[in-house]
Amino acid sequence: MMDAEKPLRVALIGHGFMGAAHSQAWRVAPRFFDLALQPRMALLVGRDADRTSAAARKWGWEETSTDWEEAVRREDIDVVDIVTPGASHAEIALAALAAGKHVLCEKPLANTVEEAQAMADAAARAVSGGARAMVGFTYRRLPASVHARNLVAEGAIGDVRQVRAAYLQDWLVDADAPLSWRLEQDQAGSGVLGDLGAHIIDLAQYVTGARLGEVAGTLETVVESRPLPASSGADGGLGGQRGTGGERGAVTVDDVALFTGRFGNGVLGTFEASRMATGRKNALRLEVYGSRGALAFDLEELNFLDFYDYTAPADRQGFTRIMVTEPVHPYVDAWWPAGHSLGYEHGFVHQVRDFVDAIASGSQPSPSFADGLQVQQVLDAVTRSSGKSSAWTPVQ
């Protein structure tokens, strides 16, 4: 356990789209939640000194660096928060854990099962020295998703019989949208499967309390080449801007991922992830069907959870819309008066709260690197299945 009087000094590695979300969370969490330790935004690390300094001024980081190893070397840094492309997750996390730092790492945990295994092993070893590690699956920290898990756990929908999960976006529908690191396998590991598919895998497993044991899937690259960006300085964030229209580079990851999964308890689930779903901006949906009822969650209406009670009289059956904004709902009592909505960024704030509380108490934060490894194994099994004519493939 850490001294409550000592600030928790944080280094953030990366400052693009996810860097902004994490910066907002580190800024806001101690102002709404009574944290056992007080985070201090000590160091922001990026590749370009000017852009990193501008981001630090915008978000409130005290110092900047272009060398992530500085965060590992510095004895006054307690937490290393990793929001870089997947290709660098393992190197940074392994070094930080070896140096005794707490580590928060964005999903997916790594680019390969081998890297994720090394990270999970390192996190397990680091526990004896007091370091804690967590992977950032933020959608399990929305009030509605936690409430859904609690309802399933208490038997409100009976035995789970079927799961449907989809995460759909359209930011690559334009065939002339520029190439970025998210579309290059050596940087991202995989395409929409790892980027969006990892979220619905984790959320389905989190809400149901069951893990996938085998999968059968198909991956497709719809647009096989894209214009090279006008500048290599782009941070690879989401967007609909067009490329230069000149030289094109190969897209080496998937645009669409479809798979069926069988959970360890025998329940079947269907999963769909796409960057080609025209008109869908950030449409994550999870449906869980049980013997006594059903639940449905939609990220685009994240303050609501739909609940069906199959045990109600026939003349009263129908989905009930629960507005998950009461103080009795998870996390909500720290925010606004009852009925006032939360947004996308609040999941990241809740993540900081839970991570800091785990560090302060010396407990294991969740999801752990071991959980991140298991999701990586599911992603790997889907990829292997796609290469074997979509044959059923065990998760291992």
Same domain, 336 and 208: yes
Domain boundary among the residues 82, 116, 139 is at: 139
Tens digits of residue pLDDT in 284-342: 999 999 999 999 999 999 999 999 999 999 999 999 999 999 999 999 999 999 999 99
CB 294 within 8 A of CB 181: no
Phi and psi dihedrals of 138, rounded to 5? Answer: -75, -20
Phi and psi dihedrals of 333, rounded to 5? Answer: -65, -15
Specify if 84 maps to a domain: yes
Say if residue 108's pLDDT is above 80. Answer: yes
Question: Rounded to an integer, what distance in angstroms lies between the CA atom of residue 351 and that of residue 141?
Answer: 7
Instruction: Please report the pLDDT score of residue 246 as a whole number.
Output: 77
Tens digits of residue pLDDT in 152-173: 999 999 999 999 999 999 999 9
Same domain, 127 and 169: no
Domain boundary among the residues 118, 139, 160 is at: 139
Which of 393, 380, 392 shows the shortest CA–CA distance to 113? 380
Say if residue 176's pLDDT is above 80. Answer: yes
Specify if 384 maps to a domain: yes
Going through 153-243 in order, the beta strands assigned E by DSSP cover 160-168, 212-220, 225-227
Same domain, 199 and 331: yes
Indicate the pLDDT class of residue 133, thresholds 50, 70 and 90. Answer: very high
CB 167 within 8 A of CB 275: no
Specify if 3 maps to a domain: no
Domain CATH number, residue 190: 3.30.360.10
Same domain, 289 and 152: yes
Domain that holds residue 327: 143-301+303-342+376-394
CB 365 within 8 A of CB 137: no
Total number of domains constituting the chain: 2
Same domain, 156 and 118: no
Domain boundary among the residues 111, 139, 167 is at: 139
Specify if 162 maps to a domain: yes
Domain CATH number, residue 101: 3.40.50.720
Specify if 20 maps to a domain: yes
Same domain, 147 and 129: no
Same domain, 289 and 260: yes
Specify if 371 maps to a domain: no
Instruction: Please report the pLDDT score of residue 6 as a whole number.
Output: 84
Same domain, 23 and 158: no
Specify if 316 maps to a domain: yes
Provide the CA 30 distance to its chain's centre, in angstroms.
21
Alpha helix segments (H runs only) across 184-320: 185-188, 192, 198-208
Same domain, 119 and 176: no
Same domain, 190 and 261: yes
Same domain, 156 and 260: yes
Specify if 350 maps to a domain: no
Cα separation values, 6 from 40, 96, 139, Å: 10, 20, 30
Same domain, 236 and 286: yes
User: pTM value?
Assistant: 0.95
Tens digits of residue pLDDT in 15-63: 999 999 999 999 999 999 999 999 999 999 999 999 999 999 999 999 9
